[in-house]
Structure 1
Amino acid sequence: MSTTSQASGLATTLPAEHIRIAVNRHTEPFWQAAKERRLVAPKCSDCGTFRLPPTPFCPNCQSKAVTWVDLSGEATVYSFAVIHGIPGLPDLTVVPVVVDLPDAPGARLVSNVIDIAPADVRIGMRLRVDFRPIADGWMLPVFRAA
């Protein structure tokens, strides 16, 4: 975490040592791509439906066939919240966002928007993916204003 972001009131993420992810055979391709600073989404190989978060089967046709598609990293804010302080980190400002991914129609991803004043975040705002190191050598996809 950037102490500058925390001290200035700009949105950031939880400190890296506080973020743990769950990896299984359905989510590992997502996290492995993030380690390579790539954003990917699973797409049903049978009906073409994108699905995030990754699931064992397609919510549209129940197929287990999946293809992982590289995305551009562009996104727009669908929804967001502003959180000022959490237990043990009272000066932290976090802006969790739900983003639409234009090159994965129908898929939405929950993440954080960083390095922006929370008052400047808007529904429909254009974002670009970035990656932050977290615990256990993984990378967390986060978003910045485009």
Structure 2
Amino acid sequence: MTSIPYDKPLPVLDPLTKPYWDFAWARQLSVQRCQSCGDRHFPACEVCPVCLSDDQLWEVVSGRATLVSWVRFHRAYWDGYRAELPYDVCLVQLEEGPLVLSNFGCDIPDDVHMGLPMRAVFEHVAESVSLLRFVPA
């Protein structure tokens, strides 16, 4: 079987975000949690956005979410997306609190609506990179 090369922008796996990508490769969704105040947040940051503590760890979360909004893009801002026009982007709120911007991992269902229960899925796209997507639960 020949794999199709992934020609879209890929994330940089730096020391701050590498734990997230390691969990994603194992098909587990993770967010940062502040050890000082307990705030869960995404995307990764050096200090807690609530209390500014740098004592944070990565925590695996359920992957359950609620659809907050979505948009259909009709313009390719990167050449790699041109063949997929139009493509859909979704904003979900994780059961554990953080908002996450991602893509649908399926065609948008006919009955799509705000509040639709969603769940995380992952797509392996390159060596050590598995991208988060959301599908109706």
TM-score by length of 2: 0.84
Please, what is the CA RMSD of the aligned residues? 2.0
Structure 1 residue 99 corresponds to structure 2 residue 89: no
Identify the residue that residue 9 of structure 1 maps to in structure 2: none
In structure 1, which of residues 10, 24, 33 is the aligned counterpart of residue 14 of structure 2?
A: 24
Q: Is the CA contact 2:22–2:128 (under 8 Å) kept in the aligned structure 1?
A: no
Q: Share of identical aligned residues, percent? A: 28
- Higher relative contact order, chain-length normalized (CA < 8 Å, sep 6+): 1
Query: Cα gap change, 1:16/1:145 in structure 2, threshold over 3 Å: closer, same or farther?
Result: farther
Once the two structures are superposed, residues 76-109 of structure 1 have per-residue CA deviations (whole angstroms, 9 ceiling, x without a partner) of 111211123526525523211111011x22x111
CA distance in 1, matches of 2:112, 2:73: 13
CA distance in 2, matches of 1:16, 1:129: 20
Is there any run of 5+ residues in structure 1 with no aligned partner, and where? 1-14
Once the two structures are superposed, residues 106-130 of structure 1 have per-residue CA deviations (whole angstroms, 9 ceiling, x without a partner) of x111111131236543211111111
Alignment: residue pair count: 130
Q: Secondary structure at the match of 2:85?
A: strand
Range moving further from structure 2, 89-98 or 28-37: 89-98
More helix, by proportion:
1
1:32 Cα deviation from its structure 2 partner:
0.8
Q: Secondary structure at the match of 2:66?
A: strand
Identify the residue that residue 36 of structure 2 maps to in structure 1: 46
TM-score by length of 1: 0.79
Is there any run of 5+ residues in structure 2 with no aligned partner, and where? none
